[in-house]
Structure 1
Amino acid sequence: MIYRGLTWDHPRGYNALAAAGGALIAWDKHPLEGFESHPIADLCATYDLVVLDHPHVGEAVAADCLVPLEDLFDPAEIAALGRAAIGPSLASYRYAGKHWALPLDAATQVMACRRDVTETPETWDALIALAERMPVALSLAGPHAALSFQSVCGALGAPRAGERFVDRAVGREAYAILVRLIGETTRACAAMNPITMLEAMAAGDGPALCPLIYGYVTYSAAGTIRYADAPHGPAGIGSTLGGTGIAVSRRAEVTDDLRDHLRWLMADATQRGFIPQHDGQPALRSAWTDPAVDAAAGGFYSATRATLEAALLRPRHDRAIAFQTEASLLIRDGLLNENPADAVLDAVEASYTRHHAPGAET
């Protein structure tokens, strides 16, 4: 039997899976944005294995298109993986009392700098001051305006929870911080997704620094980008979890060979060896703390580990992707058009209310 798998079109998302799949799994790939535009149920109707990120979990549960890990592995295995995974990597896939994906890849928003930038601002106040002396850009394209906003709110002390998306006073303060960084550099980069912005920075054509952007180890390993922890606020580091998990669809005929392969992908030796050796970004803490893995990655893991350990989760309820898309558009347009904070926050809260059923998990 050959299983069909779908992952995202980047060396970090594809190379290790393709190299490991052998005669068991044939991996296809499509753009990262493709996961936002295709319902997860449609992908699961075609593929046995789907690499996804945690905001898709509620939609998948509503569509009943994934097999929970509890049906595949013993509770002790899942608990051990939760302890071994860095930050909330496994916890992000827990929804409605079960886990729906293995944390294959760990990432969060961190600070990225060109290699010629020697200053590393640790706080938002220091970052704003630095932006007066060098080109600093926010990552605002696609869902990233909403994700950056959520991260600043977390640094200020109000992670998202309950029936509201954000506390209004904290939301105003976070919006004001982002407004201070809407200069020529951010406007020039407003349509760049993280990969495009990092490519521009690596080539010397982009901003000197981006305070919140999803970290890609490949640029650090190549020596073109230097990473650091995301800026602190009064509540500590604010960052919103990314990364991907590998999920099993209902169409898959699960065999012991498949279970063993999934176990191998998450094994300590694989995560510290095979995954980083094939352009992957591992999800186990043991890999992130391995000196050899860190050295080969240009210090990426030690420079950003604290941010990942403290990362916030995104909304995961059914229709969370629709909310994320709409909220990001509202925040991005509000910032670029200099709209007042309350008008933008009113619209974001209205969108959250439309897309999040009362009493549903967040």
Structure 2
Amino acid sequence: MTDSFLLRGTTWDHTRGLLPKVATAQRYHELHPECQIQWQTRSLQAFADYSIAHLAAEFDLLVIDHPSMGEAAAHGLFLPLDQYLSADFLSDQAANSVGGSHASYQVNGHQWALAIDAATPVASRRADLLDAGEVPQNWAQLLELARQGKVAVPAIPIDSLMNFYMLCLAEGETPGQQAAYFCSEETGVAALEALRELVSLCDPVCLTRNPIQTYEAMTLSDAIAYCPFAYGYSNYSRRGYARRPLAFGGLVTRHGQPLRSVLGGAGLAVSASCKHPEIALAYARFVAEVSTQTGIFTANGGQPGHRQAWCDADNNIDVQQYFSATLATLDQSWIRPRYAGYIDFQDRAGHLVHAFLRGETAAPVCLQLINHLHKECFK
């Protein structure tokens, strides 16, 4: 009798997070009947900041965010894929990366996850409420549209922090590069004040919404016409997925240059404690292969990490050109720091920015706290 194997995976609780994993697991089981893969979900917030050490101890396969790579590498939580998968396969993955997605899972000379999903903040609109000619092209036009009550932006702590990073980059400084401070006072204060001006022109409920909740609000009612930046979800441009579909595109300019948003997406890692690593590795490769990414992964609500899937004509028809309209923004996106203590910094710094947006601190004080926290966590 052939032995049977059960692997357990964890991902986040949205159509994009779960359905393509279930579809690929089912197809892999059909091709390899002895292998079963069960996927469980966690919240989007937990996806961003839950301890991967606990997840790696509980699950064989993990869909994870790239900033956790420093912690994973420091504690040996995942298998270094470059020691198990062929160089040719990984070279193809690198050559077909969407933006820096593939490289974002590299720390200390090893590849710790495969970039099976790619995302960054992009703009979205209700085409039936806002004509293409009315879409703001620069920051001043964005503020004017917000004054008309037509704009929403996700502004819970984690998203507020990512937007702060984006605006720091727009000021001409790359944050998080120095151990002694996160960014200069001139840059940080300007970024914070710009973000607060925009958020103050939006409904305060924005402070309680993540990207998914923002997209649901945009599609379930007619109150919001435009979102200038939120982690993109191609699902909301698919026919029949939402009450009203969304059209997606690039970002406005600030200081004469397009905003550069902060890379998100998701990687597939294999736990170092997995009892059947050869099976988990084979499945991970199957999910990341171009045929799977272009085919059943995307067809089942996935947002692939392979460039050929983003450039595929049929896939773009299915999502009203979401992939082609946002690919340039992905290619320009910024990879977050990945030092071992970064996740702790990200979780706590987001609350500092959120408190500032609620009017509880002044910009210089908020930045001072962020810089102190970065110095404490940097390792």
Alignment TM-score, normalising by the size of structure 1:
0.93
CA–CA separation in structure 2 for the residues paired with 1:290 and 1:239: 24
Partner of 1:251: 273
- Find out whether 1:135 has 2:157 as its counterpart: no
Q: 1:54 aligns with which of 50, 66, 77?
A: 66
Structure 2 counterpart SS, 1:200: helix
Partner of 2:229: 212
**RMSD of Structure 2 on Structure 1 (CA):** 1.9
TM-aligned CA deviation for residue 97 of structure 1: 1.6
Partner of 2:366: 344
CA–CA separation in structure 1 for the residues paired with 2:25 and 2:270: 15
Number of corresponding residues: 357
CA–CA separation in structure 1 for the residues paired with 2:267 and 2:223: 30
Q: 1:169 aligns with which of 186, 191, 194?
A: 186
* Superposed CA offset, 1:44-89 (max 9, x none): 1111111101111112222221111112212332222111111000
* Superposed CA offset, 1:75-127 (max 9, x none): 33222211111100011111122111100110001112223122222222321
- Find out whether 1:10 has 2:14 as its counterpart: yes
CA contact (8 A) 1:138 1:186 kept: no
CA contact (8 A) 2:65 2:266 kept: yes
CA contact (8 A) 1:139 1:148 kept: no
TM-aligned CA deviation for residue 189 of structure 1: 1.6
Name the CA shift for 1:256/1:46 in 2 (closer, same or farther; >3 Å). Answer: closer
Q: Which moved more, 1:316-325 or 1:32-41?
A: 32-41
TM-aligned CA deviation for residue 205 of structure 1: 5.2
One-letter amino acid of the structure 2 residue matched with residue 75 of structure 1? A
1:49-198 pair list within 5 angstroms: 49-115=61-127, 116-118=129-131, 119-160=134-175, 161-163=177-179, 164-183=181-200, 185-198=202-215
CA contact (8 A) 2:23 2:297 kept: no
CA–CA separation in structure 2 for the residues paired with 1:179 and 1:30: 30
Q: 1:230 aligns with which of 240, 243, 251?
A: 251
1:283-302 pair list within 5 angstroms: 283-302=305-324
CA–CA separation in structure 2 for the residues paired with 1:6 and 1:182: 33
TM-aligned CA deviation for residue 33 of structure 1: 2.0
Structure 1 counterpart SS, 2:150: coil
CA–CA separation in structure 2 for the residues paired with 1:253 and 1:232: 50
Identity of aligned residues (%): 32
Structure 1 counterpart SS, 2:198: coil
CA–CA separation in structure 2 for the residues paired with 1:159 and 1:117: 33
CA contact (8 A) 1:108 1:242 kept: yes
Partner of 1:360: none
TM-aligned CA deviation for residue 309 of structure 1: 0.5
Structure 2 counterpart SS, 1:250: coil
Name the CA shift for 1:104/1:305 in 2 (closer, same or farther; >3 Å). Answer: same
Name the CA shift for 1:297/1:4 in 2 (closer, same or farther; >3 Å). Answer: same
Name the CA shift for 1:33/1:74 in 2 (closer, same or farther; >3 Å). Answer: same
What residue ranges of structure 2 are gaps of 5+ in the alignment? 30-34
CA–CA separation in structure 1 for the residues paired with 2:50 and 2:366: 27
TM-aligned CA deviation for residue 144 of structure 1: 0.8
Alignment TM-score, normalising by the size of structure 2:
0.89
Partner of 1:307: 329
Structure 1 counterpart SS, 2:100: coil
